[in-house]
Amino acid sequence: MEVSRGSGGGSGCAPVLPASRVLVASRNFANDATFEIKKCDLHRLEEGPPVTTVLTREDGLRYYRMMQTVRRMELKADQLYKQKIIRGFCHLCDGQEACCVGMEAGINPTDHLITAYRAHGFTFTRGLSVREILAELTGRRGGCAKGKGGSMHMYAKNFYGGNGIVGAQVPLGAGIALACKYNGKDEVCLTLYGDGAANQGQIFEAYNMAALWKLPCIFICENNRYGMGTSVERAAASTDYYKRGDFIPGLRVDGMDVLCVREATKFAAAHCRAGKGPILMELQTYRYHGHSMSDPGVSYRTREEIQEVRSKSDPIMLLKDRMVNSNLASVEELKEIDVEVRKEIEDAAQFATADPEPPLEELGYHIYSNEPPFEVRGANQWIKFKSIS
């Protein structure tokens, strides 16, 4: 039955869940509901994404679970970092969950995505498990990059990372879109960057080539209002990032609403698949944490500002309210999902702290994907590492 499938597989608090399952199963939920969504601002477009959309119960439960998983995973990463189990760079995306979940809902698994270094959410929505992500954060063998990539360099099928150089992933994304066109595949590439990277010259070079060659590239600016500690108003003469493509059509989207992001992504992908060339999307979103774990996040904005966004625009809260008010789910059922997600995160964290680190002799492994073994020079000419694909 749909209810039991949507509410997950059961775990953790075994004595409590059967009773709540009976309660959920005895209720007649709606199969779907229609919602009004915010109209997008448009640039060089006659019409934009729809202003109403249908959400099925099954999709709603899936989006809710995914957003809760990303939120809890990021909070666990925060905890592990403060315990010094995760070291180095670590950029968290809690508050921005509607972006990664909404985008994935608007494209196909065969489509492509490349982003900057706030990448944990996208790594999860592109198909990797929490266990692989947290183990990568702690630098363990079971991590998605064998413990060698860390927070900024995770990869999955049709997901090209996690990139540490500000803005440098944008020309790469245009290149992936060129490959899609060159190979005659009906695929698009979502190329993401933040408002802090939006003034980079290489981004405008990529715009130009993508427009000249009509590449199936969706350039996406995740505008979370602050590039590191600098507000967009202090960093950009024009904060209309969706118009920055000039000759490229653009749309500005409510990035805190998973349904808004989904519909805008579907619209943009259809534009590219129709052979009309690139399109630009600006997602207006917000991060609750600082820029990175070394930034407390309250020296350039007030705690009251953060709290106001949490109380009025939280993406998980917005979806939850819609589903409960439209009889797509009950509060009890969503709480049950919360319990299951918490247990999944705790289990993954246990694995990520117990799994061994990769051995030193594997330092040179996986430089190439399909090459005969060869030797790599170490810190001096007498140290050699073997490289195996």
- Percentage of the chain beyond pLDDT 70 is 93
Reported confidence tier of residue 2, pLDDT bands at 50, 70, 90: very low
**Chain center to CA of 239:** 22
- Computed over every residue of the chain, the mean pLDDT equals 94
pLDDT of 324 higher than 70: yes
Whether 132 shows a pLDDT value over 70: the answer reads: yes
CB atoms under 10 Å from CB of 270, counted, come to 14
Please give the Cα distance from 199 to 203 (Å, whole number).
8
pLDDT single digits (tens) 62-90 = 999 999 999 999 999 999 999 999 999 99
Cβ burial 297-319 (10 Å sphere, 16+ → b, else e): beeebeeeebeebeeebbbbebb
Task: Indicate the Cα dihedral angle 244, 246, 251, 256, nearest 10°.
Answer: 0
pLDDT band at 15 (very low <50, low <70, confident <90, very high): very low
The HSE-up count of residue 9 (CA atoms within 13 Å, CB side) is 3
pLDDT bucket at 369, cuts 50 / 70 / 90 = confident
The mean pLDDT value for 169-193 works out to 98
Domain boundaries, the chain: 32-55+88-118+147-319
Task: Give the tens place of pLDDT for each residue, 261-313.
Answer: 999 999 999 999 999 999 999 999 999 999 999 999 999 999 999 999 999 99
Q: If pLDDT is split at 50, 70 and 90, which confidence band does 19 have? A: low
> In this predicted structure, what is the pLDDT of residue 27?
81
What class has domain 32-55+88-118+147-319?
Answer: alpha beta
Q: Is the pTM of this model over 0.85?
A: yes
pLDDT per position as a tens digit, 161-180: 999 999 999 999 999 999 99
* Pair of tokens at residue 292: 């990175």
- pLDDT score recorded for residue 318: 98
In residues, how long is the chain? Answer: 389
Closest CA to 282 of 308, 307, 310, 248: 248
Flag whether pLDDT at 349 surpasses 80. Answer: yes
Average pLDDT of span 247-254: 98
Place of tokens 């809902």: 105
Q: What pLDDT shows up at residue 156?
A: 96
Q: What integer is the mean pLDDT of 233-237?
A: 97
What pLDDT shows up at residue 26?
A: 60
Q: List strands edge to edge, sheet with 41-43.
A: 41-43, 250-254, 279-284, 217-223, 189-194, 112-114
